[in-house]
Structure 1
Amino acid sequence: MVICYGTRFTSVEDPVLLDLLDATEKVSTLRSTNRNLQDYVPLLRLLPNSPRTAQAKEAVDEKTAAPCTTESLLNDSSKSKLTLDDLKAITVSLVSGGFETMATTSSAALGFLATQEGQAVQDRFYDSLMSTYGSVTTAWDKVVVEEENEYTVALVREMLRYYAPIQFLPQRKTEKPFLWEGITIPKGITVIQNAQSINHDKGLYGEDADKFRPERWLKEETQGVSPPPAPYHYAFGAGSRACPAIAISNRLLYTTFARLILLFRVQADTDGLMDTNYITYNRDPTLQTCKPKDHSFRLILRSEDEKLMEECFQMSRQ
């Protein structure tokens, strides 16, 4: 929330936070690639009472303009005014990413780490951090400004590959004709990338593509299958229209999980583990952004001495 909106909330019941979450889900529903059939069946657009049409008309009829990036672009009076296609592309990018996708990846990854298989991953994760940085306090300080620990990088990469937060990426239009497997794709064709399918392609990731295995990104443990080069996976898309927040998203996940594992062990809770299957874990496949089904876990302090945790927190405050 701090990164996306410049606001820090102290309670999950804060009305402003709840309003933001509600608005985000409505936007996600309104422009979901795989929910709105009228995007693909023109006849459905003539129906007067579709929920999407009614919601859009209600917003337009209110005739209110909120100060935002899109409004400033539309009202730009400079000579270098953007085209309508440019405006659409920018707007789509702004509403497609952000805290919702970060939350999906984080929640799903924590659900996996709470499992029996996830315990072994945590052990290696913690040992690797200690090997790189030497101490908890040094690691706590360094993971904010660098990404030197190879296992953390591998874990974040596998999180994004295995649990793609947006399964069907926002539509892209071809800018020029190109040849693909003997077929000419003309200019102006809308392309929808199935990130979930690409990220689990056994031709790219090996026969264990359906398994959560961070070690696939470590050169010495690739089991004879070299991992794909950049962009590594399609959670961010690829090419010139890839997500512009790749660098900061990777850093946020790197820092969040490194600091979490430095102080805590993620364990199973009696209320139930998450469904860790990358297809069935999603509570509503019709939404643009995946949302893991309800699950719970426990965070157990690694050190019995709470002074270490307080020392780390104090470093952050300073």
Structure 2
Amino acid sequence: MLSLGATLKKLRLARGMTQADLYGGIVSRSFAGRLERGEHDVTVETFWAILDRLAVSADEFRFLQQEDHPSDALRLEGQIGTAYSQQNFPWLRHLVQRYQTSTDPQERELATVADLALRSFGSASWTPTPAMLALWQHFNQLTTWGLHELRLGTAWLEIAQGQHQPAVLWAGIQKMHASCARYVSPTADPFHVTDLRASFDLVAMQILLLGQVQFRPYRTYAQTLYRALKAYDRWHLSTDAALSREICLCLWDWYDGDVAAADRRAATLENLPPLSASLNTHAILTSHRRHALRQRQKRGDSHA
């Protein structure tokens, strides 16, 4: 790993900047020389000012400092996502076995997420491990979620689903929304949290709709989530996020809204060209239409 000063010098030279170009008005010329030689450190405020002038984010700086290598945790997170999307379960099992006893807490946490993906995939009944319950409790105790927790939000939902605590589940959904809102302005979503929320809401809506017969509050929660999705500003939605939103609206209509409108929306969704988030669109729509009509029949709904 390069030193802070050596990384700054490498970036400065790559951009064709002199020390005066980069450090002028931030630190003195003599200080800049000592900084690049590793003889000085800088305050956090000064470091951010230098990165802003370089137009480099903290994550990119760390990547370059590690000589073009991502952090171990970031690399592991990417491997888990790729293995799951490819349904490469032997690879997932390997990652779980390799990292579940790591000395790095973040790597152990990601191994727990991979284990959760293995156990819950295609299974309606599975038992969370102590590590999963510990992760769930940790998320519950946080007053707000940061970007790390937002990326793992759907994993929290999977664990929460089996705990049969409606109030806790709904509190987590609200916490996800409030935490995402912190990172979004009326004109910008620099960390793409809207996509994270869309994926989270799609899982949350399915849990609420499927469980509303067993847990009466779920129906109210689903309706509240539906209204939030209807009112959401689509300015920040990527194509995948917009698709997730449309699926949520379609599902709610099947269960508790206008069935004919849901059928029309589903027909449109089925005809969309393949997208990364739409790989399971057909399976989701087919399964939920059947479940929704069955629930309506049990309620004696005339639209069933």
More strand by share: 1
Which of the two has higher C-alpha Rg? Answer: 2
More helix by share: 2
TM-score (norm 1): 0.19
TM-score (norm 2): 0.20
